Amino acid sequence: DKANFRHFMAKEIHEQPEVVGHTLARYVDMAAERVLLPVNLPFDFRDIKRVSIIACGTANYAGYIGKYWLERLARLPVEIDIASEFRYREAPLSEGDLAIFISQSGETADTLAALRYAKEHRLHTLSVVNVTTSTIARESETMLQTLAGPEIGVASTKAFTCQLMVLAALAIAAGKARGELSEEDESRLVHGLIEIPRLMSEALNTEPQIDRLARDIAKSRDVLYLGRGTSYPLALEGALKLKEISYIHAEGYAAGELKHGPIALIDENIPVVVIAPYDRVFEKTVSNMQEVAARGGNIILMTDAKGAAEATIESLVTIILPDMAATFAALVYAVPVQLLAYHTAVVMGTDVDQPRNLAKSVTVE
Ligand code: M6R
């Protein structure tokens, strides 16, 4: 049931602090500030030369963010793949390496086929799934569960952030196992994860402002999403979410790619959503925003208080998110990104939970 919400999607967005908290509790020892995986891994992270992360749609974008974390925290080379591409491109695979499959339903045909392909090539297979009785859960060597609970809205929201939580814990565990993270690093990072549910609740407070903004977005034909670092895959996710439920065309780009093509689209009719927590690359993103502003583009900046103070650009709408360590900011910035898509769809009057042409679980290749 939808509780007091108009749509399942709204309910699921609001449930995130709670279910992300449940997922966190499954993967970390909160008191000790240590990662504690609920299963024993049948491989040693020190023996893994390369990780392939394979998934579709929103799960693929969660994997993309996981790639940034595994590379940075565990110094592991990671490839991110779309399931339907991984399988047919005959990429060289080495026996004993690790393939990670991410799927809410655990029944996505392309992801399942890629899992079977990886097993044929004798890779270790680990799945991050929400439905533990699913085919992908059963057929993978190791299964890590997201505790999102049933997700009814076709647009994935809480499954995405729970996938991120599992991937963050896994990246810390890998960094620890490979000797890349000290005990102090681990406790600092785990402490950061423990803060996430509270920060997500705070991020939900941006809803009235986003609701007002959605009225303008709903008038647009195209919307651009930009970000750097983990905000880049989140920009891809924001664009997917918007087009899937509001039918407004949207594209996500790495902010640095703007001048390599998409800048040609910029005029006063195109809203540009910039996802930019104050981090090491913030200054670079500010110069990209200046390029947009100089061409009359309307910028909606999602940042924190520090970022807002630094980004002195005229005609900017700022959505202020809580201060936090930048590493795991994607979990918190996902909230306004989802809310913007949701409220725009509500203004458009579309069928938010059952968008046209889409199914919750895509069981054909
Ligand atoms: O069940 P899965 O996580 O394997 O589904 C993958 C995609 O079909 C799914 O994330 C899709 O992109 C969503 N509708 C996005 O909101």
Task: Write the pLDDT tens digit of every residue in 117-166.
Answer: 999 999 999 999 999 999 999 999 999 999 999 999 999 999 999 999 99
In ligand 1, which atom is closest to the CA atom of 159? 3
Structure token digits, residue 138: 């059963």
Q: What integer pLDDT is reported at residue 362 of this predicted model?
A: 87
Q: Among 18, 22, 29, 114, which Cα is nearest to 63's?
A: 114
How many angstroms does the Cα of residue 55 sit away from the middle of ligand 1? 9
In ligand 1, which atom is closest to the CA atom of 360? 14
Taking only the tens place, the pLDDT of each residue in 73-101 is 999 999 999 999 998 888 899 999 999 99
How many angstroms does the Cα of residue 361 sit away from the middle of ligand 1? 7
How many angstroms does the Cα of residue 7 sit away from the middle of ligand 1? 18
**Token pair 């910028």: residue:** 299
Q: What integer pLDDT is reported at residue 90 of this predicted model?
A: 87
CA 89 and chain centroid, separation: 25
CA 320 and chain centroid, separation: 19
If one residue of 81, 112, 362, 365 were mutated to test the ligand 1 pocket, choosing by the most ligand atoms within 8 A of its CB, it would be 362
Q: What integer pLDDT is reported at residue 364 of this predicted model?
A: 83
Beta bridge partners of 318: 301
Q: Among 184, 220, 59, 44, which Cα is nearest to 127's?
A: 59
Q: What integer pLDDT is reported at residue 312 of this predicted model?
A: 83
If one residue of 64, 108, 350 were mutated to test the ligand 1 pocket, choosing by the most ligand atoms within 8 A of its CB, it would be 108
Between CA 130 and CA 110 the distance in angstroms is: 17
How many angstroms does the Cα of residue 314 sit away from the middle of ligand 1? 37
Q: Show which residues are catalytic.
A: 360
Cβ neighbours around 184 below 10 Å, total: 9
Cβ neighbours around 284 below 10 Å, total: 13
Q: What integer pLDDT is reported at residue 365 of this predicted model?
A: 82
Q: What integer pLDDT is reported at residue 177 of this predicted model?
A: 98
In ligand 1, which atom is closest to the CA atom of 58? 10
Q: Which residues of the chain have pLDDT under 50?
A: none
Structure token digits, residue 182: 């000290």
Which protein residues touch ligand 1 with a CB less than 6 Å away?
56-59, 103-105, 108, 111, 154-156, 240, 244, 361-362
Q: What integer pLDDT is reported at residue 131 of this predicted model?
A: 97
pTM: 0.97
